[in-house]
Chain A
Amino acid sequence: MKQEKMFTAIGPGYYEVKDRLFDQYVSPAYDESTGLPSGELEKGFAALARQDGTMSRMNLRSRLFAYLLDNTRIDVDPEDWFADHFDRCGDILRKHREGWRKELGEGALADDAQLLARGFRTGSFNAELDLGHISPGWRFLLQEGVPGILHILREKQQQPCDDTARDFYDSAIRMYTAVLGLIGRLEAQARRMQAAHPESADRMEKLAACLHTLQEGAPQTFYEALQLSYLMHQCIEFEGEYIRSMGSFELNFGRFYEADLAAGRITEEDAKELIRFFWLKFFSNTRGSGNGKNFYFGGLTDDETDNVGPLTYLAMDVFYELNLTDPKLSIKINHKTPQRFFEMIAKCLRDGRTNMVIVNDDETLEAIRKRGIPKEDSFDYLLIGCYEPAIEGKEVACNMCVKYNLSKPVELALFGGQDPLTGEKIGIDTGDSESFASFDEFYCAYERQMEKQLRDVQGAINQYEERWADINPEPLISSTFASCLEKGRDISQRGPVYNNTGSMGGGLANAADSLMTIKKLVFDEKRYTMAELKAMLRANFEGYEREHLYILNRVSKWGNNQEDVDAIAKRVAQSYTGFVNGVPNGRGGRYNASMFTLDHCFSLGHRTGALPDGRLAHHYIAKGIGTMTGMDKAGVTAQIQSVSKLDFTDIPNGSVLDIYLHPSAVDGEKGIHTLINLIRTYFNRGGYGLQFNILNADDLRKAQQHPEEYATLQVRVCGWNVYFVTLNEEQQNHFIETTMQLV
């Protein structure tokens, strides 16, 4: 059968237009004839917003959304394969929502807001109602399309239901109707472009036809599925949430691709070209700095098979070829992972495409089931944000509500509940640490301080969660959850099947190493008294240089496969997960623990005094679940052995171990197998998530001095990659310090 190239035959290719399209969101111009100027739009918005109090907030939100979408200016780029440009009016909906959050924080939830502010001020925790760690039910959306969801909503609206459900259906219908209207307007614009740009007529014809189909029903082709998913991404983010997972590339799009291929509607090269244009959208949004969007690849669909299929291999080729920081990938590796796929992943890592997290699928499934999710649902987890599992289309896991500093209770136990930097009394009275007779007594104080802080923050978050519907009702994303449609409840009203909350424990290394110092030097060896140690900390080790060196270099540090400190780290993890897992949240669900720090290692660290592990005041704390920067003296295998001593089934909200390797350790053909074997060994030992930086410090120093020559050098920050040259100096130095001892 002769295959006609649908998408690569006519018009400019990706490499001809990528530089121009890269700027598509920087200062977008919209067609003036398509809507109101932003000033007028804002006035209309403000007039509508004044109706707050006369109707439910959900109702009002839907009206605001529909008003904007109906009247905002749009445009279609004649050289782009996808249409999604509309004037977002400076994300006015999101700003408006923040007003509602503030209003609650200054009114009914003032005490809770103050508690959260104090937590931030003292480097104890960064915590807030997490509206941004959500993923739509992608497969449901792609199966129904916008008209399909609208149809279900209308059917439900006709059936008897309570007022809350009626309000939900009315609001959602209003919003989906607006989305349909937007698609229609984009189609018309594509038609205008078709007429105005004869050289792009073919492309615009196909785009218009695609947009037309999406108004009639569900997507039928690979192209239509990509178009719908990106446009809905834009609309949902406009509604007010950040989407933190784009779902499974294979499960979302594979069936469309294979059907197109079988029917001769597309060639492999066509599909690659579409993926290039599609992914450029994501890259243009972050432009090499900041957190991006992830797709996941691989993963068991049931106990017998992995979902990797032809589209996965095709997409991985494009991913390697583009070498962009966005999108980022989440890779599920399990006992059925095809070797060819694993080798493609390792090749990406080896060659600097490190913007991916590798997750132990088998272990994650166990952790998810342990927190009560039935087996049949467990396979559908996607990785929210960086590493945090949530069941697609069934769970809103608010994975990043609480970001807790595990070393803060060390300070509080030492200083009788007082935060040493601010002088604020924020902890409870656990006695005078100088009178403690044993390390266990100290640990008990540490644990009690931790428990109190966590109970406080959980209490405040629960209050916020109960008022979520007053802050951010969101019928658009909610209607991609079948259970929300069924119950007539928004995700802020417990609509999803699972309504959980994530609580991240950060800086495990600092907590464990600090406790190790206290155990060894104060209690076991009696080298220093507790009073002397406290004096060193108060002085930020100034005048105690020798003691500081002794602490840094003569006490075991987490992550080097040393029994003594590893046992303490394990104990800290058990204490923390014990105070988190299973605790009821404010939405009828439970808290789930994660262990990593992300870039909160800076904000928490800046507000933390000198610690007994030798870390100086205001310095960042450890970023992942592994060693403190510069303390991995025994190499990567020792770090893997240490960290895999933790029980990751008790850390269901995820974790990550940062692996730093010198490029020479993984060069050549053998490097691919070395990477696979490192990953496999960690996973065989029960480890959870891994991410890699394969760098040498010399290159980073050169990049600092000559950024222009290293413009495309990627580094993995947390659950995302950025170009090294876009980081600030502190962050750049963090990478240099971390890679310095690699050989």
Chain B
Amino acid sequence: MSVHDGPGIRTTLFLKGCPLRCLWCHNPENLRTEPSLSYTEKLCVGCGACAAVCPHGVHGFENGIHRLHHSACANCGACIAECLTGALKLYGRTATAEETAQLLLEDTDFYRQSGGGVTFSGGEPLLQSAFLREVMRLLKAHDVHIAVDTCGAVPWSAFEDVLPYADLFLYDIKHPDPEMHKKGTGAGNERILENLRRLHESGAPVEIRTPVIPGYNDAEETLLQIAAILKPYGNITCWRLLPYHSMAKGKYQALGMDYPMPETEMPDNTRMRALQQKLAAVCPIVKLSSDETN
């Protein structure tokens, strides 16, 4: 059940691969296109079954401590089948559009009741826009509401693929300044802003999302600049501010990755509400994550 990725009760499907490398990314398992091996230490009972079956020497035990060589992993999944506690997990698998749609339709009763539906997220789901288009077509046959959660840094043609089926885009604007955008995400924001303009032309409803990262984009003038960017676009239903959190740290560790984000405070509810109220004076559609859109 997902409740913070669009209206109502939803199922969110995460697609792998992303063109950006945001320092604060909270889904690091979806950065790569290939499956990602994850190891949760506290679930490991040290049985060694993984090491026995791994053809690539990924798993080793030194003094009873499980050491992983993530770079050697070929994603064959042999260890996963043997790991009965679930300490080892492989994020990502290949699936057909039909089986994906089937899975997503399981909670249809909840979508109907709540005005919810399916959200495609990631990673960047539009990197697989042809596949996405097919899944969306199958879902639309059952009248399911569809949202696409995108960073916007993809060719416009990817948007064109899904436009006929998407009911809502959840669209990230992380920084108004191209240089700063590059600093935080690894890429400038030119294409993102251009795609936002074209989305406006297409008339598709868009919800803007801004992760509020202390010291990066939480200054009032920065957020006011974002508000100015959004102002001309009548297709924007809401601008949602999402507080930075460091809860993904554990996932980085499990994936054998370094946490790229420097130590940063996490804005609490009071601070977020204060920001939201200040911005509401110039941009009445600004909301926090659990506010209703109206």
Q: Report which A residues bind B (CB closer than 8 A).
A: 545-546, 549-550, 552-554, 561, 635-638, 640-641, 665-671, 673-674, 677-678, 680-681, 684-685
Q: Is the CB of B290 within 8 A of A680?
A: no
Q: A673 with B114: in contact, given A641-B106, A668-B288 (CB under 8 Å)?
A: yes
Shortest 7 CB-CB contacts between residues of A and residues of B: A668-B290, A677-B114, A549-B84, A667-B290, A681-B113, A669-B292, A637-B107
Q: Is the CB of A681 within 8 A of B109?
A: yes
Does B291 sit within 8 A of A, measured CB to CB? yes
Q: Which of A550, A561, A669, A685 has the most CB atoms of chain B within a 10 A radius of its CB?
A: A669
Q: Is the CB of B289 within 8 A of A668?
A: yes
Q: Smallest distance from the beta carbon of A739 to chain B beta carbons, Å? A: 16
Complex-state Cα separation, A399 to B6, whole angstroms: 44
Tally of B interface residues using CB under 8 Å: 22
Q: Which of B1, B45, B107, B116 has the most CB atoms of chain A within a 10 A radius of its CB?
A: B1
Q: Which of chain A's residues have a CB closer than 8 A to the CB of B292?
A: 669-670, 673
Q: Smallest distance from the beta carbon of B23 to chain A beta carbons, Å? A: 22
Q: Which of chain A's residues have a CB closer than 8 A to the CB of B106?
A: 561, 637-638, 641
B contacts with A: majority SS: loop
Q: A669 with B114: in contact, given A550-B84, A561-B106, A636-B1 (CB under 8 Å)?
A: no
Does B47 sit within 8 A of A, measured CB to CB? yes
Does B9 sit within 8 A of A, measured CB to CB? yes
Q: Which of chain B's residues have a CB closer than 8 A to the CB of A680?
A: 113
Q: Smallest distance from the beta carbon of B91 to chain A beta carbons, Å? A: 15
Does B8 sit within 8 A of A, measured CB to CB? yes
Q: Which of chain B's residues have a CB closer than 8 A to the CB of A640?
A: 110
Does B202 sit within 8 A of A, measured CB to CB? no
Q: A674 with B9: in contact, given A636-B1, A681-B110 (CB under 8 Å)?
A: yes
Q: 11 extra interchain contacts, Cβ-Cβ under 8 A, other than A668-B288, A668-B290, A677-B9? A: A546-B47, A552-B84, A637-B1, A637-B107, A640-B110, A641-B109, A665-B3, A670-B291, A671-B290, A673-B8, A673-B114
Q: A678 with B9: in contact, given A546-B84, A684-B109 (CB under 8 Å)?
A: yes
Q: Is the CB of A637 within 8 A of B9?
A: yes
Complex-state Cα separation, A549 to B3, whole angstroms: 32
Instruction: Provide 11 A-B residue pairs closer than 8 Å at the C-beta atoms, listed in order of the A residue.
Output: A545-B45, A549-B84, A550-B84, A640-B110, A641-B107, A665-B1, A669-B292, A670-B3, A674-B3, A674-B9, A681-B110
Q: Which of A545, A554, A680, A681 has the most CB atoms of chain B within a 10 A radius of its CB?
A: A681
Q: Smallest distance from the beta carbon of B287 to chain A beta carbons, Å? A: 9
Q: Which of chain A's residues have a CB closer than 8 A to the CB of B86?
A: 553
Q: Smallest distance from the beta carbon of B123 to chain A beta carbons, Å? A: 19
Q: Select from chain A the residue with minimum beta-carbon distance to B116.
A: A677
- Residue of B47, B84, B109, B291 near A553 (CB, 8 A) is B84
Q: Select from chain B the residue with minimum beta-carbon distance to A667.
A: B290
Residues 4-29 (chain B) with a chain A CB within 8 angstroms: 8-9
Residues 87-118 (chain B) with a chain A CB within 8 angstroms: 106-107, 109-110, 113-114, 116
Does B85 sit within 8 A of A, measured CB to CB? yes
Q: Select from chain B the residue with minimum beta-carbon distance to A635.
A: B1
Q: Smallest distance from the beta carbon of B217 to chain A beta carbons, Å? A: 22
Q: Select from chain B the residue with minimum beta-carbon distance to A561.
A: B106
Q: Which of chain B's residues have a CB closer than 8 A to the CB of A553?
A: 84-86
Q: Select from chain B the residue with minimum beta-carbon distance to A553.
A: B84
Q: Which of chain A's residues have a CB closer than 8 A to the CB of B110?
A: 637, 640, 677-678, 681
Q: Smallest distance from the beta carbon of B185 to chain A beta carbons, Å? A: 25
Q: Select from chain B the residue with minimum beta-carbon distance to A674.
A: B3
Q: Smallest distance from the beta carbon of A593 to chain B beta carbons, Å? A: 26
Q: Select from chain A the residue with minimum beta-carbon distance to B293.
A: A670
Q: Is the CB of A669 within 8 A of B290?
A: yes
- Residue of B113, B116, B289 near A684 (CB, 8 A) is B113
Q: Which of chain B's residues have a CB closer than 8 A to the CB of A671?
A: 3, 290
Q: Which of chain A's residues have a CB closer than 8 A to the CB of B45?
A: 545, 549
Q: Which of chain B's residues have a CB closer than 8 A to the CB of A678?
A: 9, 110
Per-residue CB contact flags for chain B residues 272-294 toward chain A (1 = under 8 Å, else 0) read 00000000000000001111100
Q: Smallest distance from the beta carbon of A223 to chain B beta carbons, Å? A: 40
Q: Smallest distance from the beta carbon of B1 to chain A beta carbons, Å? A: 5
Complex-state Cα separation, A669 to B291, whole angstroms: 5
Q: Which of chain B's residues have a CB closer than 8 A to the CB of A677?
A: 8-9, 110, 113-114, 116
Q: Select from chain A the residue with minimum beta-carbon distance to B114.
A: A677
Complex-state Cα separation, A677 to B49, whole angstroms: 44
Complex-state Cα separation, A680 to B115, whole angstroms: 12
Q: Which of chain A's residues have a CB closer than 8 A to the CB of B49?
A: 546
Q: Select from chain A the residue with minimum beta-carbon distance to B7.
A: A670
- Residue of B84, B107, B290 near A670 (CB, 8 A) is B290
Complex-state Cα separation, A640 to B113, whole angstroms: 14
- Residue of B1, B109, B116, B291 near A668 (CB, 8 A) is B291
